[in-house]
Chain A
Amino acid sequence: MTRAPVLLVEDNPDDVELTRLAFAEAGIEHPLVVARDGAQALDYLFARGAHADRDRDLLPALVLLDLNLPKLDGREVMRAIRAEPRTHALPVVALSSSAQPFDIDASFASGVDSYLQKPVDFARFIEDVRRLRARWLDDAT
């Protein structure tokens, strides 16, 4: 069965690789599509620019969004996602290094559905990704 992809919006190549590894450890079979900045993420979601030939009705099962991005930051990406009827209900999980209440509150205020702190401890990150799978992906195609 072809599974809908997970869109990872992340500019740090190490974090992209670690997310791939954690997905493999957590047994997630959804393909991972990577956007390196907010503009690339919106091009993918709205099937335009480099993704103009993509089937625009094929939405990702989940968006993992680093809120601090070059070009177009995560808050602007959230505004665009929530403003577009086709994507407004798309599940989005914020990815952040910060565990500070101020940053978590600001992330939810931007409209994300959940918040995942990228921990320094990789074993903990794998556990977090397993929970993310159970919450957002096990029922998705």
Chain B
Amino acid sequence: MQELEALRREQQALGFGLSHDLHAPLRAIDSFAWQLERNATLDATARDHVQRVRAAAARMSRLLERLQLFVNAGVAPLQAQRVDVSLLAEWIGADLRDAAPTRAITLRIQPGLHATGDERLLRTLLVQLLDNACRFSEGDPRIEVEGEDAAAGMALRVRDHGIGFDTAAAGKLGQPFQRLHADDSCAGSGLGLAIATRIVARHGGTLHLESTPGAGTTVHLFLPERLPAEVA
């Protein structure tokens, strides 16, 4: 138990470093590059290089934010409560629509879905799953959130009708930085599913994927009514 606690403290320190110490130099890189970019004497090549520096800083920033979510998912103290999953999904859907106003996102959410867990982590979990469902859909995404509220817990499904993938190649998808799609297509950070998997494991639940290339993906979740003893 002492080793587990020491490991948790290390992870918390890592999360702190990710959110503070590693962002500070990145902020300086982008901000001073921004000053350079405004320099009227820059030729086109130099301007292109400065813009690439800024784009790389922005990518790195997004990666750090998601890496911090991954770390937090493992160490943040859990506050178990009854969570309205349907309402959370509605809120996240509104955020996704705001973030992608040119796409008509159809999100059908079964009302009355509830789970026991940490509301902030469950929100993060749903953000990852719904964001992936949008990201890996071409055109206007259609997504369904449905499930069964049972005595032993909640079985939840997040289904999209997007590009799908070959499940035979998906063995490592719950691990950090595993991607099935090229960096320049719809690929994300390679952390979304790893974050989701970690949150579900933290709640003592299970997550598995069912997918058909070209037909879409369904994420099956089970979140137990009772959380594991160490976090309850």
A119-B60 Cα distance, complex, nearest whole Å: 12
Is the CB of A141 closer than 8 A to any CB of chain B?
A: no
Q: How far is the CA of A96 from the CA of B153 in the complex (A)?
A: 38
| Also in contact, A100 and B72, with CB within 8 A (given A15-B24, A18-B28, A21-B31) | yes
Judge if A120 is at the interface, Cβ distance under 8 Å. yes
**B71–chain A nearest beta-carbon distance, Å:** 10
Other-chain contact of B23, A21, A97, A122, A125 (Cβ < 8 Å): A97
In the complex, chain A residues whose CB is within 8 Å of the CB of B69: 100
CA distance A97 to B16 in the complex (A): 10
Interface residue? A118 (CB, 8 A): yes
Task: Determine the distance from Cα of A125 to Cα of B23 in the docked complex, in whole angstroms.
Answer: 14
Q: Which residues of A contact B68 (CB under 8 A)?
A: 98, 100
Given contacts A68-B20, A101-B120, A102-B76, contact A120 B26 (CB under 8 A): yes
- Bound CA–CA A98/B35 (angstroms): 23
A20 to B35, CA, bound (A): 13
Q: A96 to chain B: which residues have CB within 8 Å?
A: 19-20
A123 is an interface residue with CB less than 8 A from chain B: yes
- Asked if B27 CB lies within 8 Å of chain A CBs, one says yes
A:1-56 near B, CB below 8 Å: 12, 14-15, 18, 21
Query: Is B58 close to A, CB under 8 A?
Result: yes
Within the complex, the shortest CB–CB distance from A12 to chain B, in Å, comes to: 6
Q: Are B31 and A100 within 8 A (Cβ)?
A: no
Decide yes or no whether B57 CB sits under 8 A from chain A: yes
8 Å CB interface, A73-128 against B: 96-103, 118-123, 125
Q: A120-B58, A120-B61 are in contact. Are A100 and B28 (CB under 8 A)?
A: no
Most buried by B among A97, A101, A102: A97
Q: What residues of chain A lie closer than 8 Å to B27, measured between beta carbons?
A: 14-15, 18, 97, 118-120, 122, 125
Chain A residues with Cβ below 8 Å from B25 are 14
Q: Is B91 an interface residue (CB 8 A)?
A: no
Residue from B31, B65, B72 within 8 A of A122 (CB atoms)? B31
User: In the assembly, what is the distance between CA of A121 and CA of B57, in Å?
Assistant: 8
- Closest Cβ–Cβ distance, residue B59 to chain A (whole Å): 10
Question: Is B144 engaged at the interface, CB distance under 8 Å to the other chain?
Answer: no
Contact of A120 among B23, B72, B120 (CB under 8 A): B23
| Contacts A101-B120, A102-B76; A120 near B57 (Cβ below 8 A) | yes
Residues of chain B lying within 8 A (CB to CB) of residue A120:
23, 26-27, 30, 57-58, 60-61
Given contacts A99-B65, A120-B58, contact A12 B24 (CB under 8 A): yes
Contact B76 A122 (CB under 8 A): no
A122, B31: Cα distance in complex, Å: 5
User: Bound state CA distance, A118 and B27, in angstroms?
Assistant: 8
How many whole Å from B73's CB to the nearest CB in chain A?
11
Cα distance A96–B68 when bound, in Å? 14
- Please name 13 pairs of A and B residues whose Cβ atoms are closer than 8 Å in the assembled complex, sorted by A: A12-B24, A14-B24, A14-B27, A97-B19, A97-B23, A98-B20, A98-B68, A99-B19, A100-B19, A118-B27, A120-B23, A120-B26, A122-B35
